Amino acid sequence: MQNKFLFLLGGADLEMLEIRKVLTENKDKCNFLDANLDWGANWSDYLENEDYRKIIIKYLEDGYEIYGIELSGDVPVNFKFIDHHNEYQDRPSSIEQIADILGHELTHWQRLVAANDRGYIPAMLQIGATEQEVQEVRLADRKAQGITTEIESIAERDIANNLTLEGEVTVVFSNTNKFSTIADRLLGKTNDRLLIYSNDTLNYYGEHKDALVEWLRMKGMDMENEAYHGGGESGFFGLKIGLFSREEIENIKDQITTFINGRG
């Protein structure tokens, strides 16, 4: 009997948008549920929703394999997961994993999207993306995350007014949590050491990311429930939104800049 799959979509970004297209094109092999979730989506967004839970139980009873795509939290019994963050950062991107499950050939655009999500702009350049393609993918990703022209303008003002250099780390205070608007504009201009923070969260991009993650883990940070990371040694690390106070975020920022500067 042919395998039957049900996919539960995670938080919105460009990769998730392209995943939705792949699943739609393979509707003879699978079905999917899309709760229109934001970044940080959790299994509970589906399983604690009565309407979704009833649908999912019916699919389980019908023998479907059920995959959660980039859903945080413990994986429920009888379910499977697709992700490439934290301890799974060495896996292919989520869209590549799904293409493998379904026997689907990704388009050139989707391969660029996969590289972008797996390793940001450097990963796109590694597979031969042109400068125009990089700009198109990054713009499409920001739009998929709900970034408006007003948020883009806020990013430009934050770079102009809130950028400082702390040792070898470029630090920007952001008035929104849409950090990609700032990171995209500063690529190649920060000595590969960029930290962006807001009242609610913080991200670090660049050199010594893996060492930073292990150091923070040893200091007691819960990398599964409080943070996320990916992209390899020069990838990204971030705090989950809303878990830390502004004072705690400032303290973590200072710890990170001290640690990164101490790496030489």
Cβ(121)–Cβ(134) below 8 Å: yes
The answer to whether residues 94 and 172 belong to one domain is no
Residues 6 or more apart in contact with residue 158 via CB below 8 angstroms = 172, 173, 174, 175, 182
239: which 2 tokens?
């705090």
Q: Report how far residue 169's alpha carbon sits from residue 180's, in angstroms, rounded to the nearest whole number.
A: 17
The answer to whether residues 99 and 178 belong to one domain is no
* Phi then psi dihedrals of residue 200, to 5 deg: -115, -20
User: If DSSP codes are grouped into helix, strand and coil, which group holds residue 83?
Assistant: coil
Where among 47, 82, 110 does a domain terminate?
A: 110
264: which 2 tokens?
């030489």
The answer to whether residues 162 and 90 belong to one domain is no
| The pLDDT of residue 1 | 42
Q: Report how far residue 102's alpha carbon sits from residue 100's, in angstroms, rounded to the nearest whole number.
A: 6
The answer to whether residues 95 and 157 belong to one domain is no
CATH number of the domain bearing residue 38: 3.40.50
Where among 58, 88, 110 does a domain terminate?
A: 110
**Does residue 120 lie within any of the structural domains?**
no
Q: Which domain holds residue 58?
A: 5-110
Q: Which amino acid type is present at position 10?
A: G
Residue owning tokens 């200091």: 219
10: which 2 tokens?
């995670």
Q: How many domains does the chain have?
A: 2
**Does residue 191 lie within any of the structural domains?**
yes
Mean pLDDT for back-to-back runs of 10 residues, the chain (264 residues): 85 94 96 90 94 96 95 90 82 95 97 92 92 94 92 98 97 96 91 95 95 95 89 87 96 98 89
Closest Cα to residue 121, out of 231, 195, 239? 231
**Does residue 121 lie within any of the structural domains?**
no
Where among 110, 128, 159 does a domain terminate?
A: 110
**Does residue 131 lie within any of the structural domains?**
no
CATH number of the domain bearing residue 216: 3.10.310.30
**Does residue 155 lie within any of the structural domains?**
yes
Residue owning tokens 């697709």: 82
Cβ(114)–Cβ(101) below 8 Å: no
Q: Which amino acid type is present at position 81?
A: F
The answer to whether residues 89 and 22 belong to one domain is yes
| CA–CA distances in Å: residue 136 to residues 129, 144, 162, 174, 204 | 10, 12, 27, 23, 23
Residue owning tokens 């995943």: 19
Q: Name the pTM for this structure.
A: 0.80
| The pLDDT of residue 39 | 76
